[in-house]
Structure 1
Amino acid sequence: MVGRRAIIFHGTGGNPDAVWYRWLARRLEARGYAVEVPHHPGINVEPIATFLPTVLDGHRYDDDTVLVGHSGGAALLLALLEHLDTTVAQAILVAGYCTQPNTSEEPVLQQSYDWAAIRSHVRDIYFINSRKDPYGCDDGQGRAMFERLGGTQIVRDDGHFGDYDQPFERFELLDRLIP
């Protein structure tokens, strides 16, 4: 199907070749998606107020767009969804968070969110978190977002779903969640 697009945002300190990002891109491309796996080294480095315009202007968003974010990339999706001028088909926040999950600075987070605006800009939203996450991006963070936005919360026991010390080359669940 022409027109379906997916954008996969890596996490803090990550890159497009880390963990399951390219694997998922190939799976979606095989189903007809145009897939972007951009490298945004500014994720969770630059303050969200100055970084967000780069992301808003750097991609095209419409009602056939699927957004996938991992860790800092998932936190980025909250700000992105709040400030879009359209509604996207689906957003999946993997190891996402909406409040400071640990003692590290989190410039990707906004001071507050317009939860109604976020909800109005996405038709279908998923939160995938583990019960135990080494960075605090756990099921409590997923629950906080789910309670404000609805959608679907999925709780696993898969750590951070990939990291420098956690190989996670495939993510079958994501492949199944995206139509």
Structure 2
Amino acid sequence: MFVMHAILVHGWKGWPENAWFPWLRRELERRGWTTEALALPRPILPDRREWVRTIRSAITGSDTVLVGHSLGCLAILWALDEHDGPPVERVVCVSGFARPFVPIRQYREQWFPRDFDFQALKTKAKHWSVIHGSFDPLVPVNEGRWLAEHLGVPFTQTKRSGHLTQEERAFEVPEILDAVLSLLGCVIDAAALDG
């Protein structure tokens, strides 16, 4: 039996048990998936190369589903940019971005050494999803829309507003589970699976 493996990637100042991560892992494991939530090095002062190396070493193959939050999404994009194996099954970007919108030189130089080649990047995963909370105070919603447009996928805005963090008590976000479970282009209603 083919078992899917979900890798959850936190963002800046994040940790493996952050916000909706434990809930998503429980929901997927109930359905027979294997999961892990990465503890990325130095989450307060992240180094792009260290984060990319950690993510690349966690990818198990075409059974991998990568779920990133905020800066974790950007790290996933760079990890896949360097990925030379078979495409992963799916990437779900939550509250993510793929262009510099913060005017801090050091941040721009480290995290955006060049522009992404989205045509090449799209081939690194079979399916892509972009999800964003409304009225996100940290990553503007338009950054998520821009990412979805450049990946050529629909943009999903959650019913919940904000950056979908622990501080906002975003412990369950059904749209993320729906996106993860919508394998092979068939959306699986997560609520229907509960019954």
Give 1:60's aligned residue: 59
Displacement of 1:43 in angstroms is 5.0
Q: CA deviation at 1:131?
A: 3.8
Counterpart in 1 of 2:18? 18
Structure 1: give runs of 5+ residues left out of the alignment: none
Q: 1:162 to 1:46 in 2, by over 3 A?
A: closer
Q: Give 5+ residue unaligned stretches, structure 2.
A: 182-195
In structure 2, the residue matched to 1:73 is 72
Task: Give secondary structure in 2 for the equivalent of 1:178.
Answer: helix
Whether 1:84 aligns to 2:83 is yes
Q: Residues 1-150 of structure 1 correspond to what in structure 2 (within 5 A)?
A: 1-42=1-42, 45-57=45-57, 59-85=58-84, 86-103=86-103, 105=107, 107-135=110-138, 137-150=139-152
C-alpha displacement at 1:114, in angstroms? Answer: 1.9
Change (3 A) 1:132 1:162: same
Aligned identity (percent) is: 26
Call closer, same or farther: CA 1:46–1:15 in 2, change over 3 Å. Answer: closer
C-alpha contact (below 8 Å) 1:43/1:108 kept by paired residues: no
SS of residue in 2 equivalent to 1:63: coil
CA contact (8 A) 2:131 2:176 kept: no
What is the CA–CA distance in structure 2 between the aligned matches of 1:15 and 1:171, rounded to whole Å? 17
Offset, 1:125: 0.6
Q: 1:122 to 1:7 in 2, by over 3 A?
A: same
Q: 1:35 to 1:153 in 2, by over 3 A?
A: same
What SS is found at the alignment partner of 2:161?
A: coil
1:154 corresponds to: 156
Q: Kindly provide the CA deviation profile for residues 31-74 of structure 1, in whole angstroms up to 9, marking residues without a partner as x.
A: 111101011034573432454223212x1332221110001111
Task: For residue 175 of structure 1, give the secondary structure of its aligned residue in structure 2.
Answer: helix
C-alpha separation in 2, matches of 1:21 and 1:42: 19
The TM-score, its normalising length taken from structure 2, stands at: 0.81
Query: How far did 1:110 drift?
Result: 4.2
Are residues 44 and 73 of structure 1, via their aligned partners in 2, closer, same or farther at CA, if it must alter by over 3 Å?
Answer: farther
Equivalent pair of 1:44/1:72 in contact (CA under 8 Å): no
Aligned AA (1:122): A
The one-letter code matched in structure 2 to 1:37 is A
Match of 2:187?
Answer: none
Return the offset for 1:109: 4.0
For the aligned residue pairs, the C-alpha RMSD in angstroms reads 2.1
SS of match in other structure, 1:3 = coil
Amino acid at match of 2:83: L
- Farther off after superposition, 12-21 or 148-157: 148-157
For 2:35, the aligned partner's letter is V
Taking the aligned partners of 1:139 and 1:5, their CA distance within structure 2 comes to 28
